[in-house]
Amino acid sequence: MQPRDIAAYLFLAIAWGFSFLVVLKVVHAFGWVGAVTFRAFVAGGTLALLAALVGRSLRLRPLLKPLLVVGATTVAGQLVGLSYATPRIGTAMSAILVATIPLFSMIIGRLWGLEKITVRGLFGLLLGVLGIVMLVGFPAQPVTETFIHGCIASLFGCLCAAFGSNYASLHLRGQDPWTVTGGAFLAGGVLTLPLLVLVPVPAMPQASDWLYLLLSGSVMSATTYVLYFGLVARIGATRTISVEFVVTLVAVLIGALFLDEALSLLQAAGGVVILIGCMLVLGLLPTRSRRLPS
């Protein structure tokens, strides 16, 4: 990985780790459908505005079909799953399930012949899953029907994210990340907009709610996904999605620092295991080279 790729990877981990603090507030104010729809329009509108200011054109029409697919999966499907699930199962369990995205991506990538996963990379992914279990633990709340529905929604969102990323890697490789991100979010917003009839905004949002929405749309969606799709094009979908392991680590650390959530020695050890697993997936650990006989 190049230094710019590592920097983008770390920024995604930090921004999306902090997003767990924002999702609950936005969902509470706008409902789970409104949170997705308005966030998608804010993200797409932000990129369209910035592109106009810097004289950059977003050529959406030639890429309409693949953008609709990515918008339906990576944007609408993933965010609907996250927004619906998080208030029902909590951020800790959401973090566990989000970490399944790299595994879904690895399976899809292998089936489509997009990536070859080495034994070293597979071991890294398994280490990441082990670290997630150590880090977050098991849910404290009782396993109710609401909890099960939330888990199903979260897994659906994770599968959508993995599918969309591999689809983008296959059909949108080499395309402008601004166009891919802006078009995908606008498509996601259009696709989820009719659902507001079934799940309307619960009440008039306050000024602070709009600020949280702008933060989630402009920073945690528009900016991050430009970097994300750029990474998918350069290093592949599975290696890029492995950032979700670090996102979980960041989310738990934020909970311990800002929400007074306890962080045990086992969780700290899990964080170390996650980092080692990601370094294996990304090829950042040195390999032992064989010396040729003289």
C-alpha dihedral (7, 281, 102, 212), degrees to nearest 10? -20
Question: 63-68 contacts: CB < 8 A, separation 24 or more?
Answer: 63/172, 63/175, 63/179, 63/180, 63/183, 64/183, 66/167, 66/168, 66/171, 66/172, 67/172, 67/180, 67/183, 67/184, 67/187, 68/187, 68/191
What's the whole-number mean pLDDT along residues 124-151? Answer: 76
Q: Which two tokens stand for residue 212?
A: 């949280």
* Confidence (pTM): 0.81
Q: Can you tell me the distance from the alpha carbon of 47 to that of 66, in angstroms, rounded to the nearest whole number? A: 18
Q: Is residue 127 part of a domain?
A: yes
Parent domain of 185 = 3-282
Residue 36 is predicted with a pLDDT of: 96
Q: Is residue 251 part of a domain?
A: yes
pLDDT surpassing 60 at residue 293: no
Q: Is residue 116 part of a domain?
A: yes
Local confidence band at 82 (pLDDT 50, 70, 90 cut-offs): very high
Residue 294 is predicted with a pLDDT of: 46
Residue 246 is predicted with a pLDDT of: 84
pLDDT surpassing 60 at residue 227: yes
Q: Which residue has the higher pLDDT, 274 or 86?
A: 86
Q: Can you tell me the distance from the alpha carbon of 83 to that of 31, in angstroms, rounded to the nearest whole number? A: 8
Q: Is residue 294 part of a domain?
A: no
pLDDT surpassing 90 at residue 60: no
What's the whole-number mean pLDDT along residues 88-97? Answer: 77
Residue 253 is predicted with a pLDDT of: 80
pLDDT surpassing 60 at residue 153: yes
Domain count, the chain: 1
Q: Is residue 87 part of a domain?
A: yes
Q: Is residue 25 part of a domain?
A: yes
Q: Which residue has the tokens 């990323």?
A: 165
Residue 195 is predicted with a pLDDT of: 96
pLDDT surpassing 80 at residue 4: yes
Q: Is residue 109 part of a domain?
A: yes
Q: Is residue 266 part of a domain?
A: yes
Residue 136 is predicted with a pLDDT of: 65
Local confidence band at 106 (pLDDT 50, 70, 90 cut-offs): confident
3-class secondary-structure state, position 160: helix
Q: Which residue has the higher pLDDT, 200 or 234?
A: 200
What's the whole-number mean pLDDT along residues 37-62? Answer: 90
DSSP-assigned letter for residue 73: I
